[in-house]
Structure 1
Amino acid sequence: MKDYILKRLLLMIPTLFGITLITFLVIQLAPGSPVESRMSIDQGIKSDQVTKEIVEQTKKLYGLDKPVHQRYFIWLRQIVTLDFGNSYKDHRPVIDKIAERLPITLILNALSILLVYLIAIPIGAWSAVRQWSFLERATTFVLFLLYSIPSFWMAVVLIYFFGGGGALDIFPIYGVHSRGYEYLPFFERTLDFLWHLVLPVFCLTYASLASLSRYQKGSLLEVLREDYIRTARAKGLAPNRVLFKHALRNSLIPIVTIIASILPAMIGGSVIIETIFSIPGIGRLGFESVLSRDYPVIMAVATISAFLTLIGILISDLTYAVVDPRIGFERKS
């Protein structure tokens, strides 16, 4: 097992290298310049009023006067020591900004993935057992209807109906803390934090329910057709024992690997959701850095997001081997 994990971790290095190289080149080719953005913030100067001398001085200050390939290798050498440089926007160390916002995004996505699996797997299993019934078809219709709704539109609707914009005022609609949060006891602080995440977590969760429940349904139906299930039934085992002990566990094997595709989608979706709900997470940080052409922050967010995705894929493979006893780490490696 250790050899397999070590091999996978080593394979992440060239993958991360390729992702960071492409990201670095793309942001260099994007329209706009951090120099013009910085001048506008510092001095209120419009881009057409920035003199050539000011541009050259600012480029030299940020190291933008060097060739692209040289800047990339300088950045690559720095991140070996987790030095992502300083932000062009406020000159703070990028690693400090990431450390402040990353935990919030991780909690937001972890809660969303947990809820997706806790809700979708029972729905999928129930749909397989009650296949073609009216209630099963109605449930499938509702799930796919939710799947077709964009998350930003759903967020606006939830804010209007449940966030004080219209009929009800139940959930907070911005931030992750209430006023006076620091004076509350630990238990109340935790409840306050989770209460602020209700609407954002729902927006990240509902769209994945349809696909994951359908995967679970199809996987369970396939397992129920296997010969060993027929044998278990022929021996007189109770239907629930056949379903939960023999069929359900084996049907979870392909479902476990889907986490590798859900995680990147949720990290990408958190950019929109964090912006709408004003959540100080890494997704919103990345969005703001793109608008301000803050290259060091963009690279840091892209690198960490890619690393988290690769870790999610590794966890998916390890869990696959745990769920399916036929899979061994030695044979996989």
Structure 2
Amino acid sequence: MIYPLSAFRFPDDPARLFPGTPERELVLEIGFGDGRYWPSRVQQVPVAPNYLGVEVSGASLLKAQRRLTRAGIVNAHLSKLPALVMLDAVLPEQCLSEIIVNFPDPWPKQDHLEMRLLRVPFFRLAASRLRAGGALLLTTDHREYFEFACREADESEVMRAEPGAAPPAALETKYARKWRELGLEVYHARFTPTAHPQLPRPDIRPYPPQPPQPPEPAQQETDAVPHAILTASQSLDFSDFQKSALRGPGYTVVLLDAYRSLSRPEYSVLAHVEESELTQEVLVTVTHRADGSTLVRLAKFGGPVITAGVKAAVGAVTAELVQRGGAVTHSGY
């Protein structure tokens, strides 16, 4: 079944997620695409483990659900929850028998390397969530990324890479078939933990009520785009950002991460917004302006649908800045 963000706890109990089969091992697949891997995989084992799958594409989510349903797989949950949030905030320590990563985006450009999933922080997080004897399985067609991931695992000091042949189920995925047809090689490694580090939990907390708003001055931003303007006696930034959650009537907002611009005094905050049947990932920008004010504004990137939850995401970022000493002079959300 498809699990919305609001159905999870932070952290959660695998036995609560799978009450009918709490004794079975738990597998997490990151980026399941159209869902071909897991039905093929469960045909090769006498008892199907419990399965969690995360994917950022809503269309892929629906395709995978239909594929699992046709295969008669019932102990499986799919979610649009980002992979790092699932690992970091939902899953407890040493609960997973496997983490599956098939054909991840290699982000091949040099200035995009920080966007790659399989880096030192991810390997340390994965090692903390894998149980003794567990493993992370990577299959990719991108040799440079494969070698990069192996180096990062070694530098994490908690994972050991064991290159080998890809499992048959990984070769039945959409991308594996595509690369085989093109005659490209597939690379595979099994990463096993050499240690299980204890990592701090993210601070998932509700935001306080939004601060009282003073009378609005002359309009400075169109009300069509959720925004706020703040002033402060000191520069406002997100250098110590922590994940946070906000739940309101009909929506759930999670502020996932903050990224500093390299070219201008600006941060971009990534927010995950769940509302009924609509799920969106939006960016909220925090820009320090020449007049000393700070503009919080919904970015147009990705063409977001402006809903109550999206407006609440802008309000949550604004509330965070107020907690850091800012004062709202105008708002439109």
TM over 0.5, shorter chain: no
Normalising by structure 1, report the TM-score: 0.23
- Taking CA–CA contacts closer than 8 Å with sequence separation of 6 or more, which of the two structures ends up with the larger relative contact order? 1
Q: Which one has the bigger helix percentage? A: 1
**Whose radius of gyration is greater, 1 or 2?**
1
